[in-house]
Chains A and B, each alone.
Chain A
Amino acid sequence: GENVEQHPSTLSVQEGDSAVIKCTYSDSASNYFPWYKQELGKRPQLIIDIRSNVGEKKDQRIAVTLNKTAKHFSLHITETQPEDSAVYFCAASMVDGNNRLAFGKGNQVVVIP
């Protein structure tokens, strides 16, 4: 089955700086890679996703890059703001026709004002 590793587990950045979180996956057949943001006690919210037929996708301050050869994908947050502080989860689709996702362990991002 799919195995998703996420690094680092905790990341502290100064407000205005960039944050990068990297995930690796094991199944080369995975074709969908979403990133979710979860604030304490709340539901995960999709912030950006990427399909395997593209290498990069950007939405304002957030971007995701995908390297299929190396089987890793990264979340980039530029000009970080205090409200970006949350836990970020990456996920990769399991190719079983049932839309299952394998999640990474999560990354606590702390933006220091």
Chain B
Amino acid sequence: GAVVSQHPSRVICKSGTSVKIECRSLDFQATTMFWYRQFPKQSLMLMATSNEGSKATYEQGVEKDKFLINHASLTLSTLTVTSAHPEDSSFYICSACRAVHPYNEQFFGPGTRLTVL
């Protein structure tokens, strides 16, 4: 159990276009999902916390109008990178917490490699 999927796994787009990334918890309900960005050889940088049915909470320095997050159901959160530019190229990873898990364990998706040309 506790499987998280992401789609797509890899995307290449032109500068100025928007890209949507989906994060799904396949076998559990996730009231909270997280979106991270990871640059090569660097750590996971938390971008935002997404709670089902409410607005996402963004970390300091993350533009909420550029990185649109929607958590429409207990199993799906989406991240849309709007007007993508080359500097947005990165590895985007989501994670999810079980609704009633006693610990803070986060289950990670496989990540999405975004390349903006």
**Interface, chain A (partner B; CB < 8 A):** 32, 34, 36, 41-46, 49, 51, 89, 93, 98-106
Which single member of B32, B34, B44, B91 contacts A89 (CB below 8 Å)?
B44
Q: A43 and B111: CB pair below 8 A?
A: yes
One digit per residue, 1 when the CB lies within 8 angstroms of any chain A CB and 0 when it does not, for chain B 74-112 equals 000000000000000001010001000001111111110
Q: How far does the alpha carbon of A36 sit from the alpha carbon of B93 in the complex, in Å? A: 14
Q: For the complex, is B116 an interface residue (Cβ under 8 Å from A)?
A: no
Q: B43 and A99: CB pair below 8 A?
A: no
Min CB gap B28→A, angstroms: 14
Give the one of A51, A100, A106 with max B CB within 10 A.
Answer: A100
Given contacts A46-B106, A103-B46, 18 further A-B contacts (CB under 8 A): A34-B106, A41-B91, A42-B110, A42-B111, A44-B93, A44-B108, A46-B107, A89-B43, A93-B104, A98-B32, A99-B32, A99-B104, A100-B46, A100-B49, A101-B46, A103-B44, A105-B43, A106-B42
The chain A residue with its CB closest to the CB of B102 is: A51
Min CB gap B7→A, angstroms: 14
Which single member of B91, B97, B108, B110 contacts A99 (CB below 8 Å)?
B97
Tally of chain B residues near chain A (CB < 8 A)? 22
* Residues in A whose Cβ lies below 8 Å from that of B104: 32, 34, 93, 99, 101
A selection of 5 A-B contacts at a CB cut-off of 8 Å is: A34-B104, A43-B109, A43-B111, A93-B104, A106-B42
**Interface, chain B (partner A; CB < 8 A):** 32, 34, 42-44, 46, 49, 51, 57, 91, 93, 97, 103-111, 113
The chain A residue with its CB closest to the CB of B2 is: A46
Give the one of B46, B57, B104, B109 with max A CB within 10 A.
Answer: B104
